[in-house]
Structure 1
Amino acid sequence: MAKRKDFSVTRLPGFATIALTAFVALYLPIVTLVVYSFNGSETVAIWGGFSLRWYGIAWDNTQVQEATLRSLIIAASAAGIATTVATMAALATTRTGRFKGETLIYVMINQPLMVPEIVTAVALLIVFAAVKVATGYTGLGYLILAHAAFCIPFAYLPIRARLEGMDLSLEIAASDLYATPWQTFRRVTLPLMMPGVIAGAMLAFVISLDDVIITEFVKSAGQDTLPTYMLGQLRRAVTPEVNAISTALLGLTVLMLTAFFILTRTRD
């Protein structure tokens, strides 16, 4: 009797064609963007030879410098807040026994992932508008808080996954040796969960750095981040400078996500 072959989707007719078509549709526009960021022409539609001209123009652009610095400040601050809150939430939901309302808490923590981002943006706009009227404050604090709230679940998931995969024996041994809960956390739990914390922080940083919708709704005048600045430029005139900025932002994002993958990959 012939040996039965296990089912594999890769053996289905047309699988390779569909997969190739999907990859081309996903990555061809990105490759085109990167290639045309080195275009020496004044327009994005005509190739004018290889040149780093637009990278230099973008580097010397004061508005780009200010937007980039603002984006980095917001992303770093939001990632720090989101990671701190996510770490406490992950500890509370993994280092305790099952309790009533645990599922509801998990749903509330991950709510920004399930609700359309435009809904979150409108809700934040309404709340922060009332606060601005009451306090008169219009600084970057609103953007930092808005980004932090949106990034919490992105930081929470890798931290929780790391905690769930950790062996409790070392923490139990520390308690048996009369370590206080704080000493156990500082000397045992935190070092072991640190790869998850770093991964969560990097993921939150990337999500905040790339955000457009929430930023557009919450920001005040003169608070453009790099993505919203690029969106404004596209509404006026498209030049290879936007391609150069996009490529630089893409490179930073890929670098951060690669580091995230390395930190969270399964190790033997």
Structure 2
Amino acid sequence: MNKNLGWFNLTSLVLGFAFLYLPILLLVVFSFNESKLVTVWAGFSTKWYVSMWANEGLMDAAWVTVRVGLLSATIATALGTLAALTLDRFHRFPGRTLFSGMVYAPLVMPEVITGLSLLLLFVAINFDRGFWTVTLAHTTLTMCFVAVVVQSRLVTFDKSLEEAAQDLGCPPVKTFFAITLPLILPAVVAGWMLAFTLSLDDLVIASFNTGPGATTLPIKIYSQVRLGVTPEINAICSIMIGIVAIGVIVASIATRRSELERDKAERAAFRVDG
């Protein structure tokens, strides 16, 4: 019975991963296809990667996407970390429920609603749509994810370390940068990587808030796919997959190191107490 159940679980797992990742693997494989027909294999070639670099439209969109991702992820990390500290350290203050709801609202809000509401805001304040509106929109989208990641680390944070530093005369601001931030840094880095990845991937919100000269790569790819998939699109998508994969690996390593350091500190404290 257990053996049959084990084979069933294994088969379900293999089929599930195949359903999720086999299309991605095929996209990467066909990005090295010699033929212009993306579904007909005609031999190995890297010419579409060379052609992709020569495509000014794709490269301009990629550069806009990278700039938006870097800037929005950085702003979102700063704001999300502050929001997580506020929610973790101050359990009672006027408007805490409203503040918490506003921080986490983008997690459950459909992207269409978020994009449309931001568009109406920019129109109402007469803010021209372009690079900065896309950046602000992506900051709004990703800040809540950073807050969740950092707050989950702060839940297990040993606040006695901060208290000890302040008892020794360390000011609160210096305590944060000398004690708190280094200990939660892996979570902050993981939040930044998650925010950057979400910004690279976003299509819906960016399409609502983009303007002249601010076409992101997902928008460019989507507009070209409607006319037919080309091998150049396979190539640029493969590069995006590689960037996202590297981000996930870095975030996982940072999280793992954070857990190991916490376990080491707990064992050291246990030895001292013993």
TM-score clears 0.5: yes
Corresponding residue of 1:124 = 118
Question: Are residue 197 (structure 1) and residue 191 (structure 2) matched?
Answer: no
Taking only aligned residues, the RMSD between alpha carbons, in angstroms, comes to 2.0
Letter in 1 for 2:222: L
Counterpart residue identity of residue 164, structure 1: V
Query: Does the CA-based 8 Å contact 2:130-2:212 persist in structure 1?
Result: no
Q: Which residue of structure 2 aligns with residue 153 of structure 1?
A: 144
1:110-152 per-position Cα deviation (integer Å, ceiling 9, x unaligned): 1101111111111112112223xx35x3431111100000000
1:141 and 2:132 correspond: yes
Of 238, 243, 257 in structure 2, the residue corresponding to residue 252 of structure 1 is: 243
SS in 2 for 1:194: helix
- Aligned match for 1:238, one of 224, 229, 238: 229
CA contact under 8 A between 2:116 and 2:208: conserved in structure 1? yes
Q: Which has the higher helix share?
A: 2
Q: How does 1:77-88 map to 2 (within 5 A)?
A: 77-88=71-82
TM-score calculated relative to the size of structure 2: 0.88
| Selected match of 1:263 from 247, 254, 271 | 254
Moved over 6 A (4+): none
Q: Deviations over 1:74-132 (max 9, x none)?
A: 1111111111111111111112344565444333211101111111111112112223x
Q: Which runs of 5+ in 2 are unaligned?
A: 264-274
Structure 1: segments with no counterpart, 5+ residues: none
Q: Deviations over 1:191-237 (max 9, x none)?
A: 21211111111110111111100011110133211111111110112
User: Following the alignment from structure 1 to structure 2, what is the Cα–Cα distance between the partners of residues 196 and 14?
Assistant: 36
Once residues 28 and 6 of structure 2 are traced to their aligned partners in structure 1, the CA distance between those partners, rounded to angstroms, is 34
Kindly indicate whether the alpha-carbon contact (under 8 Å) linking 1:39 and 1:51 is maintained by their aligned counterparts in 2: yes
Separation of aligned partners in 1, 2:131 and 2:225: 24
162, 179, 189: which is aligned to 2:170? 179
Residue-pair matches, total: 259
Task: Tell me the TM-score normalized by structure 1.
Answer: 0.90
Structure 1 vs Structure 2: percent identity of aligned residues? Answer: 39
Q: 1:234 & 1:9 partners in 2: Cα distance?
A: 46
Return the letter of the residue paired with 2:11.
T
1:228 aligned to which of 202, 213, 219 = 219
